[in-house]
Amino acid sequence: MDCFGSSSDEEDADVDVKRDPSCGVFSFHPNTEQSLITHVKNSTTLTSSSAYASDVQVNSASDVLQAVDKFCTSRHWMMHVGPEKGEILTGALREAMDAKLASRTSDVSTPFVAVELGSYCCYSSILMAREFYKQQYAKLNSHLFTVEINPEYAKVAAEMARLSGLDGKITVHEISYNGHDTDVDTVVQDALIQFNSKDQGADSPKIDFLFIDHDKDMYKADLIKLESAGLVRQGTKVVADNVLFAQIDDYIEYVQKRKEEGTVNTLTIPCQVEYSNEDEGDSSVDVGVKESYVDGVEITDYLVDP
């Protein structure tokens, strides 16, 4: 197994390295996340989030994302959202930000709150926070709060946010499990209350954009928690990853029921499992396995308060 390569050839951008089959789709090996950090450090120039203009921060984040994509296609598959689904995610995010801009009633900076359930290595966080720095969204005071239950992943996520230069717009929070349930709703609510307290006259905490990509058994339960806490309300846009591949039927049934009630509009967008195209030309991968790489992203818009 040669998944990670040597330090000497880690970053030769002109060399097209083919991912070893043992490190293909749904392969998991120890220390992959740490190898990714090393790869990113060797591939990019570290920037400081406080010292660069918005266009430089966008470029810095893009460099990190490209380094991660290269690692996942040439070294080792990882469960980031990836470029294909990333386009779906950022497209939905831009729609939410455009709607927030359209609802502004003054020239005062307007808070825009994005929440992610499942930080992992911060790829999707960086992908989303990069949009915050684009000129058309300068009048939004945007911030991303991402939560993670695995302490090691939370550390990796915080380091990746720093390497991207977007740590001023991304906050990583650890959630805990008491043997029965997690405190995800409390952690998110506390973070939003603190964020809102910096904006005098701000409304009660609300999630403008929610990305769900954590424990597949918890999608429905955690969405209901956030609804019950009053954090998901009219105008909230929710994006949920892996709904087809992971067969998250209870979640789809729930948002479909909400649609029938007139509470939401919801749509499933078919796509591929992240970084699975690299196996298309690999004769060692069974055709039936390749067909199983079909996935889907659910996009749900709240028309009224739930």
Q: For 220-279, how does the pLDDT look when each residue is reduced to its tens digit (9 = 90+)?
A: 999 999 999 999 999 999 999 999 999 999 999 999 999 999 999 999 999 999 999 755
Asked if 127 and 81 count as a contact pair (C-beta separation under 8 A), the reply is yes
208 backbone dihedrals φ, ψ, rounded to 5°: -85, -35
Q: What percent of the chain has pLDDT over 90?
A: 72
Q: How far is CA 166 from the centre of its chain?
A: 14
* Burial category of 169 from C-beta neighbours within 10 Å (exposed 0-12, middle 13-18, buried 19 and up): buried
Q: What is the pLDDT of residue 7?
A: 44
Its sign, for the CA torsion 102, 104, 107, 108, is negative
CB 244 within 8 A of CB 294: yes
Residue 285: what pLDDT? 45
Q: What is the pLDDT of residue 21?
A: 87
pLDDT score for 55? 75
- The pLDDT value recorded for residue 105 is 83
Residue ranges of the chain whose pLDDT lies below 50? 1, 7-14, 50-52, 200, 280-289
- CA pair distance 44, 216, nearest whole angstrom: 33
The structure's pTM equals 0.90
Tell me what pLDDT residue 53 has: 52
